[in-house]
């Protein structure tokens, strides 16, 4: 090997290392399911009416779009939460029907929803469920967009390629 070839080879090592690092699939991060994905789009179909359960599930939802493996994909993740069923009750500023013990969970939910909004998560509430469960639409958190039927939204996002995560 000539001196020029050797010099070229030694100078190329950092570039080769960078190319290998960039070419390593996302699965190396521990998620084979992320292989060959350009972006992770998820719609969380949320109907669970327990405020206490929401305070546990919401941080797990946030971890989806904050996960380093998800953010290592070529395009940033998109997350939508569609609320329906009894879940619409805890999206209201009206605390009627909740006991004092649940008020702490409701405060935590309100903070988590504000955080979702700041993070750029799209949130929609099913107005059909709002009517069925007797929630005053004027008391719904302003961070959440009102849609006629949450099932239509979930189906629409699914048809756009979003993965559906159902929390019934």
The pLDDT tens digits along the chain (168 residues) read 554 444 434 444 443 343 334 444 444 467 999 999 999 999 999 999 999 999 999 999 999 999 999 999 999 999 999 999 999 999 999 988 888 889 999 999 999 999 999 999 999 999 999 999 999 999 999 999 999 999 999 999 999 999 999 998
For the domain made up of 39-167, give the CATH fold: Hypothetical Protein Ychn; Chain: A, (3.40.1260)
Pair of tokens at residue 161: 């390629």
CB atoms within 10 A of CB 114: 13
* Structure-block tokens of residue 41: 């789009």
CA 64, CA 77: separation in Å to the nearest integer?
9
Cβ(71)–Cβ(63) below 8 Å: no
The span from the CA of 156 to the CA of 16, in Å, is: 43
């Amino acid at each position: 090997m000539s001196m020029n070839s050797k010099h070229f080879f030694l100078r190329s090592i950092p570039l080769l290392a960078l190319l290998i690092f960039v070419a390593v699939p996302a699965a190396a991060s521990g998620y084979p399911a992320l292989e060959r994905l350009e972006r992770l789009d998820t719609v969380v179909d949320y109907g669970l009416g327990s405020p206490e359960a929401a305070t546990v599930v919401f941080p797990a939802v946030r971890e989806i779009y904050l996960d380093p493996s998800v953010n290592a994909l070529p395009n940033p993740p998109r997350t939508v939460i569609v609320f329906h069923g009894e879940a619409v009750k805890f999206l209201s500023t009206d605390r009627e029907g909740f006991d004092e013990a649940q008020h702490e969970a409701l405060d935590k939910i309100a903070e988590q929803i504000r955080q979702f909004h700041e993070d750029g998560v799209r949130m929609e509430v099913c107005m059909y469920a709002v009517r069925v469960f007797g929630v005053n639409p004027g008391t719904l958190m302003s961070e959440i967009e009102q849609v006629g039927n949450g099932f239509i939204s979930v189906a629409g996002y699914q048809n756009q390629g979003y993965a559906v995560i159902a929390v019934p």
